[in-house]
């Protein structure tokens, strides 16, 4: 880490900083410039970096602290350069295989779920998605059928053989969701709910961690570090669009994040282009784009009758549209060295 | 609500929509334009609006749905036009009185807390702030002393007479925090943690609800509606800066939100200019600005030795700087018809 | 257009609005709701919409005006549903053909330009890019060689046969740039420099219009409408990344904009993934993504020696990396029904 | 400046960088860390910093370059710590005096302008604003009366004695605008139109430089540096709101920028709260906030009949509302050591 002193810093200030750091056991390099002095700190870990930054930036004679290395370790590329591969009931996520997760936004009825499950399986999906607990901006909206929906997901898995992924929103529900689901989803509104991250770090069920709608890539990796530091290394990073000034689309799908994560981390990257666009008419194009850019998988909302969906109908594909997209993906994947 | 049909919509599509709405019992007005047809729905509440929007926007022949009235009721201005006044152990929040909450970011030691509490009381603060549970971007940072810190806050209240406010981050902690604290703070990272909002809606302890760092004003009011719809109407809205492209400051303090909330809602508005700027050197100026713009109160980080703070030292005022600011506020408040 | 009255509007207010609109010759539909009244205006064009919105929103009894149709005509999809095809010295832009524009950020020397031009031609590029006039954030940076550079571009065209594209920044330079260049580029900082847009609307040289770094898609199409309304319909829309809170990348490449523009407009869409990412290591992945999502072409910075580039070296590909990317694109394009 | 090498950099890479820098005549300090090596460059000016950053970041073995000092000189605080004072026909801008500029968005008719001018003068404004050339998102909107409007402004000045400020949008108009106006305004859409900045840098007429709607504070100061480096040091910085995700207001007025600019620069800071909010109902509150936070002045849209305004009626104050605000400002200014 580098500490940049203010122009007004005195020699005494500089000596104080150096003493402070040496007393903590760090190596120190001082470089006196024309306008400003910079102090390099050798051998500092992510643990102390945040603390020292907070303290030093409070000194009036410190301009700012600049981190030199990443504030995460376990999820960083260097920790496992060959990349992480997660296997869920025989479905491989990461590596050469691409994965497709699909299904309705929300589990509404046994019938709707089964119809969806069969449709996405027929089109080649590998994992079934469906919400049992739903975050809604309005307290008056539908919030999911909870445990009943979890049971329906388990039935659908039994009938189709597809592993299931579903969101967990509450620390008190982690246990029950783990009982029924194969992958835990952490949603964008809980992407920095650190207590929930800690709880899913204590189990071994794989976690799909959505990006916070205003999380920087670095913060997102730190959120993943919460899970990993608890002991659960089965983490997927899911880009789902960020909040920007653009209003034509619901979110701005950050395609840059896909190759960026591939150079920063060893974790598989999944594209949620349903939320990333918010418009069914844009989903197929952006999903093709995401796989072309190196995504390891996608998670797509498919509803047999989008116009009857209780949530997010506007961004759900019909089974027919989903099937068309899958056909194109089969052709596209070999171009980037992948296959379903 | 208004439904705007696509240019490609047929007369049959239009008739279907009208039938659908009339079957639900709504009044309907159709207005056929040159390019597009619009359908007005009469008598729809916030409950059904979200649902109908989701369903209708999934129809290929619907362009979009436009809400005409606000998606919240209990926290809307019309619900209590005279404004909400909350009284906490004799301290009045809202109305003609302005309120100052101050103290360290984090409760570190009994000594640090007491020193802070006496300092802010001496300078005229009305309520003591201090974090027992701290959200941190990094899992390796300090996360607060928990219940021990709650007890120290209670001791500080006993010694100084100042009511205390502290953050609650976990649904499982609501009960214990209510036991010790006078005001519950919901932080920006939990601003859309709906289960936590529901839990604090079940108690009567006042809640200070921070704005999500990327929440629109409307979403923020919907988050408050979660609390109110649970039965707890003692809510304060705390503007703490939003995330933008600007990097010189930690956040962008949205001063517009202050008069905007005053025209949309009856709830008191509190300014957190410490997080809103992230730089101690900017706090006093922006706090004066916030009160001049109509804020009912402010919450400010003050630390006796910012350079020794375990968190957020860079944005903490010294007691002397806090005192200077309070002097100016005493002069400024009468200009806007207020006083401490 | 729809006018939504405030809850406080009286019957008299409503009658005034209706009279005002009828006096202007518009058809009017009034729909009285429980809380609010809405007024639909029939037969209003983009010209009057902006004016009426400005005037009506100033009335205290008007809540807001909601446009129903798009604020542009000539560049809208309906104007030419089959799509625009532009031919530049035999190179086809739009339609089934994909196009690659490549070359150095800035024309530095005759030698550097020729080396670049031969390299990108050898790798299969169709059009040569190179800056003669360069916008720089700092007044102390390099600003391009101007007319000298234009002449070098013309020489490079003569030698390689590649048409050339270069930026014009100043209304006074339009004439001279048209003399040498085959395509005029309008940069992101001039994306709302309306006088410059009007000037390039008066010529017939094709224009590549970059998106403003904070332009909404609708504003961008209105900027294109400036050019088209002047008589120049040879316009390409170039997505080059938008400004967001993310700092790991220079900009956020908005891949959603590609299919969105395809449904809103008939103009060809070009992807500038060099600026869209700002990092050479991300360019190939995001370019593949852009073509997979339906882009008609790309514009890429290639420099024979990026580490010696006077500008934007960090985002320039080497000829070898560019060549690799072109190989992959040849495989990818048929998947989306395209070819070079 | 600091160069941070990648973890993969070899000793040879390091030596090359050092040789490169020493050959350019800079002092160099190398600090070898556990993970990464950093190289400090001594004695580098803003001119070379941009160039070296561009070149070095293109090396695969360079992680990034970190500037240590500001990329502007003439407009930086250190250049004139006592602050700049600009006098326009006897009106003092900067220092202890606060200034109020007011008038209609657009000069529409002689009558409208005179009525506005007398109204704002009566309420205590010091400078008359009014647009002769208007940037509009739509090519079909009104664009101002040009020279005719400039002449009306000069007449209004003659009649009221108020100096006038008006926008210049085109390099070809700088001369004629200087002939009639006392202050040149550079609008937000031209905030990075560098050729226009250079042109207004060649004259001595004071310039009010609006912030680009997505300009960082540092970029804005660099834009001001363009003007100053041309020889015109009579510059005011005008905060007019930035573009964010919030849609309730037209822009987000960045009040943080006011004290931030006061610590970074010596130039006077003016608040445009009309555009900063976009809603007449919020203007007074935010203007009070801006002055309380240290603004040197404000520029406010006032229209005798906002509902008849050709542009921006929704954000224009009536003369009565403007007068009320001025009364409050008279009371507020002494609190921050200022007066009109």
Cα-based torsion angle of the residue sequence A17, A19, A22, A24 in order, rounded to the nearest 10 degrees: -80
Q: Which helix (H) or strand (E) holds B146?
A: none
- Chain-chain contact of A286 with C246 (C-beta, under 8 angstroms): no
Q: Chain B contacts of A66, Cβ < 8 Å?
A: none
Q: Which residues contact D23 (CB under 8 A, 6 or more apart)?
A: none
Preferred mutation among C2, C31, C36, C43 to probe B, highest tally of B CBs within 10 A: C31
Q: Considering only the beta carbons, identify the residue of B33, B63, B68 that sits closest to C42.
A: B33
pLDDT confidence bin for D17, thresholds 50/70/90: confident
Give chains near D: 3+ CB pairs under 8 A. Answer: A, B, C
Q: What is the DSSP letter of D133?
A: S
Cβ neighbours around B179 below 10 Å, total: 12
Mutate: best of C28, C40, C246, partner B, most B CBs <10 A: C40
Could you tell me if residue D103 is left (phi over 0), alpha (psi between -120 and 50 degrees) or otherwise beta? Answer: left
- Report how far residue D269's alpha carbon sits from residue D247's, in angstroms, rounded to the nearest whole number: 26
Nearest-Cα residue of chain D relative to residue B291:
D289
Angle between helices C319-332 and C280-292 (to 10 degrees): 20
pLDDT band at residue D25 using 50, 70 and 90 as cut-offs: confident
Tally DSSP H helices, then E strands, for chain B: 11, 14
Q: Which of A55, A193, A307 comes nearest B190 by C-beta?
A: A193
Separation of alpha carbons C24 and B70, rounded Å: 31
**Each residue's pLDDT tens digit in chain C (340 positions)?**
888 888 888 888 888 888 888 888 888 888 887 778 888 888 777 667 877 887 888 888 888 888 888 889 999 999 999 999 999 999 999 999 999 999 999 999 999 999 999 999 999 999 999 999 988 888 888 889 999 999 999 999 999 999 999 999 999 999 999 999 999 999 999 999 999 999 999 999 999 999 999 999 999 999 999 999 999 999 999 999 999 999 999 999 999 999 999 999 999 999 999 999 999 999 999 999 999 999 999 999 999 988 787 777 789 999 999 999 999 999 999 999 999 9
Residues forming beta bridges with residue A317, ordered by sequence position: A302
Rounded (to 5) percent helix, strand, coil in chain B: 40, 20, 40
8 Å CB contact between B171 and B202: no
Please give the Cα distance from D52 to D319 (Å, whole number).
54
Interface contact D54-C190, CB threshold 8 A:
no
Judged by CB atoms closer than 8 Å, whether chains meet at D336 and B258 is answered as no
For A54-63, A329-338, B119-128, B213-222, which range has the lowest pLDDT when averaged over its residues? Answer: A54-63
Instruction: Show the tokens assigned to D10.
Output: 């070899």
Identify the pLDDT of residue C330: 98
Taken as a whole, chain D contains a residue count of 340
Which tokens is A333 given?
């994947």
* Distance separating alpha carbons of residues D263 and B284, to the nearest angstrom: 13
**Other CB atoms within 10 A of residue B230 CB:** 16
What is the residue whose two structure tokens read 């050798």?
Answer: A42
Distances (CA, A) of B208 to A186, A332, B205, B235, B270: 25, 51, 10, 6, 8
Question: Which distant-in-sequence residues (6+ apart) come within 8 Å of D90 by Cβ?
Answer: none
What percentage of chain D has pLDDT greater than the value 90? 73
Integer Cα distance of C270 and C294 in angstroms: 10
CA distance A289 to chain C (A): 4
pLDDT value, residue B47: 67
Residues of C in contact with B29 (CB under 8 A): 29, 31
d(CA B141, CA B76): 39
CA distance C16 to C37: 13
Q: Does A12 or D288 have the greater pLDDT score?
A: D288
**Nearest-CB residue to D242 (from B244, B263, B332):** B244
Distance from CA of A268 to the nearest CA of D (A): 23
Element at D134 (helix H, strand E): none
CA separation for the pair A110, A131 (Å, rounded): 13
pLDDT tens for chain A, 340 residues: list them.
Answer: 888 888 888 888 888 888 888 888 888 888 887 778 888 888 777 667 877 887 888 888 888 888 888 889 999 999 999 999 999 999 999 999 999 999 999 999 999 999 999 999 999 999 999 999 998 888 888 889 999 999 999 999 999 999 999 999 999 999 999 999 999 999 999 999 999 999 999 999 999 999 999 999 999 999 999 999 999 999 999 999 999 999 999 999 999 999 999 999 999 999 999 999 999 999 999 999 999 999 999 999 999 988 787 777 789 999 999 999 999 999 999 999 999 9
| Phi-psi domain of D19 (left: phi exceeds 0; alpha: psi -120 through 50; beta: other) | alpha
Above 90 in pLDDT, residue B188?
yes
Residues 6+ apart with CB under 8 A from B334: none
- As a whole number of Å, the end-to-end CA separation of chain D is 43
Point out the residue among D247, D248, D294 whose CB comes nearest to the CB of B285: D294
Plot region of A169 (φ>0 → left; ψ -120 to 50 → alpha; else → beta): alpha
**What's the average model confidence in pLDDT over D277-297?**
97
- Write down the H helix ranges in D41-130: 46-56, 110-122
**Helix extents (H) in C123-204:** 147-160, 174-180, 194-201
Q: How far apart are CA A57 and CA A50, in angstroms?
A: 11
Using DSSP's 3-state secondary structure scheme, residue B216 falls into coil
Phi, psi at A330, each rounded to 5°: -60, -35
Residues B53-74 have a mean pLDDT of: 85
Query: Looking at residue D225, what is its pLDDT?
Result: 96
Query: Which residues of chain C are at the B interface, by a Cβ-Cβ cutoff of 8 Å?
Result: 2, 4, 7, 29, 31-36, 38, 40, 42-43, 63, 66, 68-69, 78, 243-245, 247
Q: What gap in Å lies between CA A183 and CA A197, rounded to an integer?
A: 14
Look at residue B53 in the predicted model and tell me its pLDDT: 84
Nearest CA in chain A to B70: A138
Structure confidence at residue A177 (pLDDT):
98
User: Which of the 8 DSSP states describes residue B247?
Assistant: -
- Distance from first CA to last CA of chain A, Å, rounded? 43
CA–CA separation, C93 vs A293, rounded Å? Answer: 23
Residue of D nearest to A77 (CA): D7
Tell me the two tokens of residue C235: 């316009």
DSSP strands (E only) in C156-234:
164-167, 183-186, 207-210
List the domains of chain C with CATH numbers. Answer: 2-66 (3.30.70.1140), 77-336 (3.20.20.70)
ipTM tops the 0.90 cut: yes
> Alpha helices of A40-170 — where are they, by DSSP H?
46-56, 110-122, 147-160
Residue B259 to residue D285, Cβ atoms within 8 A: yes
pTM of the model: 0.95
CA-based nearest residue in chain B for residue C64:
B68
Contact at 8 Å (CB) between A4 and A38? yes
Buried b (16+ CB within 10 A) or exposed e, B63-88: bebbebbbbbbbbbeeeeeeebbbeb
pLDDT digits 0-9 by tens, D241-271:
999 999 999 999 999 999 999 999 999 999 9
DSSP, residue by residue, D146-175: THHHHHHHHHHHHHH---EEEE---GGGHH
Q: Which residues of B touch D (CB under 8 A)?
A: 214, 216-218, 241-242, 244-249, 252-260, 262-263, 276-277, 279, 281-282, 285-286, 288-294, 328, 331-332, 335-336
Instruction: Give strand ranges (E) for chain B.
Output: 2-5, 27-32, 37-42, 62-66, 86-88, 91-93, 99-103, 127-129, 164-167, 183-186, 207-210, 235-239, 269-271, 297-301
Q: What is the pLDDT of residue A317?
A: 95
pLDDT of A21:
87
Contact D94, D118 (CB under 8 A): no
Q: Are strands C127-129 and C164-167 parallel, antiparallel or unpaired?
A: parallel
Neighbour-count burial of A146, counting CB atoms closer than 10 A to its CB (0-12 exposed, 13-18 middle, 19+ buried): middle
Residues from chain B contacting residue D247 (CB–CB below 8 Å): 216
Note the pLDDT of residue C8: 83
Tokens read off for D39: 């190289």
> What region, left, alpha or beta, does residue D134 occupy, with left being phi > 0 and alpha being psi -120 to 50 degrees?
beta
* Inter-residue contact D301 to D104 (CB < 8 Å): yes
Spatial separation of the C-alpha atoms in residues C246 and C282, rounded to whole Å? 15
Would the CB atoms of A255 and C286 count as touching at under 8 Å? yes
Distance CA(B1)–CA(B17), nearest Å, equals 13
Q: For position A248, what pLDDT does the model report? A: 95
């Amino acid at each position: 880490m580098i500490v940049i002193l203010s122009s007004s810093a005195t020699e005494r200030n500089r000596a104080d900083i150096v003493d402070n750091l040496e007393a903590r056991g760090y190596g120190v390099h001082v470089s006196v410039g024309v306008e400003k002095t910079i102090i390099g700190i050798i051998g500092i870990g992510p643990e102390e970096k945040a603390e020292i930054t907070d303290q030093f930036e409070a000194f009036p004679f410190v301009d700012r602290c600049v981190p030199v290395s990443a504030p995460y370790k376990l999820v960083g590329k260097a920790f496992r350069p060959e990349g992480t591969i997660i296997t869920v009931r025989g479905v491989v996520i990461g590596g050469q295989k691409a994965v497709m997760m699909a299904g309705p936004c929300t589990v509404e009825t046994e019938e709707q779920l089964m119809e969806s499950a069969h449709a996405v399986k027929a089109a080649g999906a590998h994992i079934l998605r469906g919400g049992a607990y739903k975050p809604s901006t309005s307290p008056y909206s539908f919030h999911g059928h909870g445990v009943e929906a979890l049971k329906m997901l388990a039935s659908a898995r039994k009938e189709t053989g597809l592993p299931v992924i579903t969101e967990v929103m509450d620390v008190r529900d982690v246990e029950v969701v783990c009982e029924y689901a194969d992958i835990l989803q952490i949603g964008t509104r809980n992407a920095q709910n650190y207590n929930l991250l800690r709880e899913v770090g204590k189990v071994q069920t794989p976690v799909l961690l959505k990006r916070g709608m205003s999380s920087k890539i670095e913060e997102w990796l730190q959120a993943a570090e919460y899970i990993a530091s608890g002991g659960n290394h089965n983490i997927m990073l899911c880009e789902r669009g960020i909040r920007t000034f653009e209003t034509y689309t619901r979110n701005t799908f950050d395609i840059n994040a896909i190759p960026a994560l591939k150079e920063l981390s060893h974790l598989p990257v999944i594209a949620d282009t349903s939320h990333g666009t918010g418009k069914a008419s844009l989903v197929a194009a952006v999903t093709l784009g995401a796989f072309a850019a190196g995504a390891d998988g996608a998670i797509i909302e498919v509803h047999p009758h989008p116009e009857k969906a209780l949530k997010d109908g506007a961004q759900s594909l019909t089974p027919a549209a989903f099937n068309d997209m899958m056909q194109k993906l089969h052709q596209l994947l070999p171009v980037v060295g992948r296959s379903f």
